[in-house]
Structure 1
Amino acid sequence: MTRGRLWALVLAVLLLGCGAAGYTLRAAQRADGGGAVAGGEGAFTLDGPGERLFVRDTATGRVALARGRNRVAGGPVCDRFHAAGPTALCLRRRPGVPARAYAIVLDRELREIRRIALPGIPNRARVSASGQVLSWTMFATGDSYASSAFSTRTSILDLRTGYLIKNMEQIPLTIDGRRHHAPDVNYWGVTFARDDNRFYATVSAKGRTHLVEGDLRAWSARALRPNAECPSLSPDGARIAFKKKVSDDPATPWRLYVLELRTGRERPLADRRSIDDQAAWLDDRTLAYGHAGDVWTSPADGSGAPRVLVRGASSPVLVR
């Protein structure tokens, strides 16, 4: 073989190797959601005139802007999504075993500003009205609240200080007027008041679930009432939507309720189906939630009837 042909062969091998390496790298980036940048494509942002409804598009896994029956799915890839003020929170699963994920903090342009590696399966995500305090829940064991064999890990991130509470189980808990010390505590489904200090959440302890009210500055939480999960505080701060266990049938255990904080009165929504979601308030009168692969709405006062808002979607949030 001549020297020229030898160099041509070497060059061809190198080009093929580089091409394969490049393809492998791009494939790995796609599997991890597109590499280091978690933002949307092109001009897809949270900004825009008036109120805008965002959802997770099931077909693409991307955050989408819902416009009537149409949607624009140009946002980041997320398994759970929420946004408020200048901040969005995207929970994204990572490939591989054991289960793991990222909590990705985004600005209103959907540009990544912080990324936190997490163990487990993404489950709940919430951003306070100011956009300054965030919370997420991961399934550490199991993948459903309908099973007794599950464990959660819920975190709170304060963007004002950068302080991260990795596990809310550290917060001192009071149940029935007594400090609860047992190691069987699980928190999930946090929702924040407008002062960025008070919060509500679900806690499981002694084999029962409770709605708890917490105080970040005082570093404390107390149980308010039993049998209340995945709370969502209304924009006016007067009511909490939650799911209540109404059946021992693992296929249909829950129904959505709304609690008036001042009176303690609760009423069920007109939707009698079993809803496993942390409902979102579209306004002080209307709730949105995921069920059977679609986003539905129901009046918060228990009147009317449920209706489909967005097909093939989840994680609804109205951005103002």
Structure 2
Amino acid sequence: MNPQNNRTRVIVLLVAVLVLGAVGTGAVLYAADRTARRDQPQSGGPAVTPGNVSLQAPSAGRQLLFRNMAWGPHRDEITTVPADHPDGPRTASGTQCLRFHAAAGTGICLQAEHGALEDTYRAVVLDDHLHQRRSFPAAGIPTRARVSPSGHLAAWTVFVSGDSYAGTNFSTRTSIVDVRDWNLRENLEDFAVIKDGRPYQAHDVNIWGVTFADDNTFYATLATSGQTHLVRGDLAARTLTTLHDNVECPSLSPDGTRIAYKKRVPGLSPDAPWRLYVLDLATGAETATAEQRNIDDQALWSDDGTLLYALPGDYGADLWTVPADGSGAARLVTKAAVAPAYLG
């Protein structure tokens, strides 16, 4: 055997070992740096401290709750701020949610459970101290959540397949539970559909984005044959009745007269097709808000004249507001926040 060849092989082996060692060390240092940055507040981010968070209406001052998106030890926790000072210091609850909503002392929290091979998800009903009352397996990735004004009903929507509303290759599952007796309507697709005044059946029906009027009546989006429709749901009758076309992720105003929603506007990019509109339920009149960016959220009414919603931001999402009557301009409310709820 040629000694020169042996020496060459040894040198090549040593170089390979050194390169692999350097790559491994670099990967470890990179992962450690990412972890350190994840667990520290991002420069310029909101101040977040742990404390007591309640879902009861406060005795003094309205509160705004949301999922905190700022990097640090309290990322993804439900936090609270005074509603009139939404960009102030946040109080973190210790409860992590991907999607969240609350009303009248009841919360709904959609959570991920991280497994060795894959993540699973669950819907957790919370009491007024954010303690678990009951949980239900969720069939996919959390996307929408709502509690009725009385706190008696909780609804959630997950993606069973797909992870975006923008295309057509997705399937959802929407459930409603009555927290008084734990009567679970596991899949609203089992309800009878009345479309254009006639019974309707199809294999491609999808339903998402519940918003409650009371403890029996709700509104949601129904999709079929490539079209979306606003439906009025009746829990007792187990029916869904179409009311208006091209409505997604509806949100009922506090006075029960209007629906805020995402509307697909012709001519926009298929990847960013939605604008924020308001529908008058009595007249069917549509009003475009002053928000000109793509909206992929279920807006929340701050009051009878103002909408709150999430848009992409440096931390993942920020909360913005705009008047519901088409006037004014969109305005940033607070950074690093998503899935809001008002108490009080």
Tell me whether the two structures share a fold, i.e. TM-score over 0.5.
yes
Measured after TM superposition, the shift of residue 208 of structure 1 is 0.7
Match of 1:85? 104
Task: Answer yes or no: is 1:263 the counterpart of 2:298.
Answer: no
Q: Which amino acid aligns with 2:65?
A: F
| SS of residue matched to 1:252 | coil
Q: Check whether the contact 1:99–1:120 (CA below 8 A) recurs between aligned residues.
A: no
Give the equivalent residue in structure 1 for 2:321.
Answer: 297
Amino acid at match of 2:62: E
CA distance in 2, matches of 1:113, 1:305: 41
Contact 2:52–2:92, Cα closer than 8 Å, also in 1 = no
Q: Which residue of 2 aligns with 1:25?
A: none
Give, in whole Å, the separation in 2 of the partners of 1:205 and 1:191.
Answer: 20
Q: How many Å separate the matches in 2 of 1:296 and 1:75? A: 25
Which residue does 1:28 correspond to in 2?
Answer: none
Match of 2:27 in 1: none
> Which whole-Å deviations, capped at 9, do the CAs of 1:280-306 have from their partners, x for residues lacking one?
011111110000110000111111001
Pairing partner for 2:127 from 107, 113, 120? 107
In structure 2, what residue type is equivalent to 1:314?
Answer: V
Hey, what's the Cα distance between the residues in 2 that align with 1:41 and 1:198? 37
Alignment of 1:43 with 2:58, yes or no, is no
Q: 2:218 aligns to what?
A: 199
Match of 2:337 in 1: 313
Question: Is residue 142 from structure 1 mapped to residue 162 from structure 2 by the alignment?
Answer: yes
Alignment of 1:52-201 (within 5 A): 52-59=63-70, 60-67=75-82, 68=85, 69-70=87-88, 71-96=90-115, 97-194=117-214, 196-201=215-220
One-letter amino acid of the structure 1 residue matched with residue 222 of structure 2: V
Task: Classify 1:46/1:161 alpha carbon distance in 2 versus 1 (closer, same or farther; 3 Å).
Answer: closer
User: Unaligned stretches of 5+ in structure 2?
Assistant: 1-48
CA distance in 2, matches of 1:308, 1:72: 20
| Structure 2: distance between partners of 1:260 and 1:99 | 41
Deviation at 1:250, TM superposition (A): 2.4
Aligned-residue offset at 1:160: 2.4
Which residue among 233, 255, 261 is the counterpart of 2:252?
233
Residue in 2 aligned with 1:6? Answer: none
Aligned match for 1:242, one of 227, 245, 261: 261
The answer for unaligned runs of 5 or more in structure 1 is 1-39
Task: Work out whether residues 105 and 113 of structure 1, in 8 Å CA contact, stay in contact via their aligned partners in 2.
Answer: yes
How far is 1:178 from its partner?
2.0
CA contact (8 A) 1:99 1:121 kept: no
Indicate conservation of the 8 Å contact 2:51/2:91, yes or no: no
Q: Give the whole-Å Cα distance in 2 for the aligned partners of 1:249 and 1:99.
A: 32
| Matched position secondary structure for 2:151 | coil
| Contact kept in structure 2, 1:99 and 1:119, CA below 8 Å | no
* 1:98–1:120 contact (8 Å) kept in structure 2: no
Scaled by the length of structure 1, the TM-score of the pair is 0.84
Segments of 4+ in structure 1 off by > 6 A? none
Indicate the SS of the match to 1:74: strand
Contact 1:232 1:279 in 2 (8 A): yes
Match in the other structure for 2:24: none
TM-score by length of 2: 0.79
Quote the Cα distance in structure 1 between the aligned partners of 2:213 and 2:55: 22
Q: Secondary structure at the match of 2:96?
A: coil
Q: Which structure has the larger Rg over C-alpha atoms?
A: 2
**Alignment RMSD, CA only?**
1.5
SS at match of 2:189: helix
Q: What CA distance in whole angstroms lies between the structure 2 residues aligned with 1:224 and 1:152?
A: 21
Which residue of structure 2 aligns with residue 217 of structure 1? 236
